[in-house]
A and B are shown apart, each in its own frame.
Chain A
Amino acid sequence: MAKTTIRNSKPVTACLSSGKGGVGKTSLTVNLAFALAQKGARVLVVDGDLGLANVDVLLGLQVQTTIRDILDRGADPLEAVVYVEPQLGVLPSSSGVPDLANLGPEDHQELGGILRSIGSHFDVVLVDTAAGIGSSVLWFNTFVDYNILVLTPDPTAMTDAYALIKVLSRDYQRKSFHLLLNNVKNETEARQVYEHLARVASHFLDLRLEYLGGVPHDPAVSKGVRDQVPFIKIAPQSKAALTLSRHADRILGWSDSKPVRKTAV
């Protein structure tokens, strides 16, 4: 496999959010990170589910220092990063700490500074946010350059994703959203769901949604979650792994066309 190496001083930052829980967001984030790392990118996964962290659970990690320790007692952010592969770091969060799910503006500002400073050591930063439309979910989504919405073809998942898109566009001036359809029958179904949601968003919100892709239903996915191993590692030839690897290529492409947020250098 041809290895792509990107060396930007600023990483591509993307948030994977869903609105609804249980659509496979964390699993896709972790596997996407592995796919990107396999392609030669240095990847950081930030567990943005501050109250109910589970990236570490999904990877079976032993966590020593978390985002909470960094904020509460000034722990060194770089030491908190757990490397699961030489190219792939995870910034863990703390589980079961509800107050961390409701950080104030000052904490967010500090967290932003921390993420920017750690992020500069990586090519891609992926944030796995909590479900719902909580203040931390909204904050992470405004912090990153790219907003990826993970959803399944079920109407409630679509509605919750739509609600998040609506709030982010209406209250936070986010205008670009990439849809990642999980657990679809095939590419046709993924396209259909995307087009449906895109039509509704265009009609009611005057927004254009982007299509990142679909990940087909695959027994390898649930096996990976059960065994705490990324499916992209244990079943690299599975349908899910192969399609996700293609989506990783798309994300690598973003590093060349990163949206300019403030003044261009």
Chain B
Amino acid sequence: MQKPLTSPAFCPFGAEECPLPAETQRLQEECDRLRELSQTDPLTGLFNRRHLKAALDQEMERTRRTGLPTSLIMVDLDYFKRVNDTFGHQTGDEALKWATQVWRRNLRRIDILCRYGGEEFTIILPGTRLQAALRAAKRLQTALINAPVPLPDRKIHLTASFGVDTFTARDELTVRGFLKRADRYLLEAKVQGRNRICHQKPETAKRTPEVTVDERTALFGPRTLPAKGMARKNRPSSKG
């Protein structure tokens, strides 16, 4: 078995002067830095799209195994191009950073906030049901409205559109499929006029209603129904 590099059995420079431990540590740090770089968006310091996909894959697998749902919030800052056009890209970048800091403060430590690209962000909410994810989205929406970007001479008021979706163990979806489905709700929010939350409808999240109106009527009806032809009981009599 190989001995660990940090404790060489013998070094020609002597144990005190041996360069290996320092070099190993430098390489380890470099490795960590590169890993972080490969997962991080340089501007906001958030996770990037690459990490999003890996993390989402893992959380969806957790849902399949534990039965606890995974929720996803897709966010887009409204009319962000105007901010860039009006105040310049540097201010635009500051505004992006500001918004993500506001959101970070309003999320749990387990939630994974990623920059999807441009002014679009994705948040993975592990082990979270739709209703709880909707409350989180509402919190993010309100927090952003209540915290305009402070510039030296003015404040920029930002709003965002949200698409919320939940993956359960009953769903058969890939990472791509889930992102695509959630993205549709974001698109819906934008089409409906922005600064709003659109989400998976509880009806489609749940199974179809268990008892139909016909069945309920029959169950609540008199206990002496004809066995067959119940549906035709309102047919006009053939007599006369």
Contact = CB atoms under 8 A, between A and B. Distances in A.
Contacts of A204: 212, 214-215, 218
B210 interface: yes
A166 B67 contact: no
Contacts of A199: 225, 227
Interface string B198-240: 0000000001001110111011100111011010000000000
Nearest to A165: B210
A86 to B, nearest CB: 38
Given A103-B67, A167-B207, A159 B216 contact: yes
Given A105-B67, A196-B225, A166 B219 contact: no
B175 interface: no
Contact of B219 (A102, A104, A192, A200): A200
B67 A203 contact: no
Interface residues of A, number: 26
B66 interface: yes
A155 B227 contact: no
Contacts of A167: 207, 210
Interface centre among B66, B219, B230 (most CB of A within 10 A): B219
Contacts of B218: 200, 203-204
Nearest to A153: B223
B88 to A, nearest CB: 50
Interface in B52-107: 64-68
A163 B216 CA distance: 10
- Main secondary structure, interface of A, reads helix
- Main secondary structure, interface of B, reads loop
Contacts of A203: 218, 227-228, 230
Contacts of B220: 155, 159
Given A104-B65, A106-B65, A200 B207 contact: no
Interface in B153-183: 169
A26 B223 CA distance: 27
A111 B205 CA distance: 27
Interface string A95-112: 000000011111100000
A163 B207 CA distance: 12
A38 B218 CA distance: 40
Contact of B210 (A105, A166, A193, A197): A166
Contacts of B230: 203
A195 B219 CA distance: 11
Nearest to B69: A102
Nearest to B218: A200
Interface of B: 64-68, 169, 207, 210-212, 214-216, 218-220, 223-225, 227-228, 230
20 contacts: A102-B68, A103-B67, A104-B68, A105-B64, A105-B65, A105-B66, A105-B67, A106-B66, A106-B67, A107-B66, A107-B67, A135-B67, A162-B215, A163-B210, A197-B219, A200-B215, A200-B218, A203-B218, A203-B228, A204-B215
Given A102-B67, A196-B225, A203-B228, 12 more contacts: A104-B169, A105-B169, A106-B66, A133-B210, A162-B215, A167-B207, A192-B223, A193-B223, A200-B219, A202-B227, A203-B218, A203-B230
- Closest 8 pairs (CB-CB, A-B): A104-B67, A104-B66, A163-B210, A196-B223, A200-B218, A155-B220, A163-B211, A159-B219
